[in-house]
Amino acid sequence: MLLGLGIVLGFAGIGFLCWLLFLCAVYAAPLFVAAMVCTMLYDHAMMSGVHAILAGIAAGIMVLAFGQAILASSRDPALRTLVSFLLALPAALAGFGMTLGFSGMGDMGTIPAYLFATFGALCVGGATWTRLCAIQPA
């Protein structure tokens, strides 16, 4: 009884995390930029902790705002494709890492785990790119 409940709740938890990843994957690029700016400013002793965090948040907000503004206002398909690809690339990397982590929870070999993680990266990156390309220019 309890083993069956554990299996069902385990699948439900993994399903919830995958749904959350697909929902939040559009925001992976601004989060990545914010984390990198914060880390660079703090590691090179340019700013204190709080100031580096605030600068990272500001950089992430600017990436999100500029990306959304370009996608909403540009009619050039090459520019829209490039911007949506650049915004979807960190989401694909996050999908790769998450799928590889899920593969490591089971007893899977290295080569199948990386093949499975590559498929996960393609799915998450493709879903993010599709959501970004769906933004219609004004």
Q: Is residue 78 part of a domain?
A: yes
Please name the residue that has the structure tokens 């650049």: 86
Domain hosting residue 29, numbered range: 2-133
Q: Name the token pair of 42.
A: 């703090």
Q: Is residue 103 part of a domain?
A: yes
* pTM of the shown model: 0.77
Q: Is residue 138 part of a domain?
A: no
Q: Is residue 90 part of a domain?
A: yes
Inter-residue contact 21 to 94 (CB < 8 Å): yes
Choose among 131, 135, 119, 104: nearest CA to 27: 131
Domain total of the chain: 1
Question: What DSSP line would sit under 64-75, residue for residue?
Answer: HHHHHHHHHH--
| Cα separations in angstroms, 37 against 44, 61, 95, 130 | 11, 12, 22, 27
Q: Digits of tens for pLDDT over the chain (138 positions)? A: 777 888 888 788 878 887 888 788 888 889 889 999 999 988 887 778 889 899 999 999 999 999 889 988 888 888 888 988 888 899 899 889 988 888 887 777 889 889 988 998 998 888 888 888 887 776
Q: Is residue 57 part of a domain?
A: yes
- 17's CB contacts (< 8 A; 6+ apart) are 98
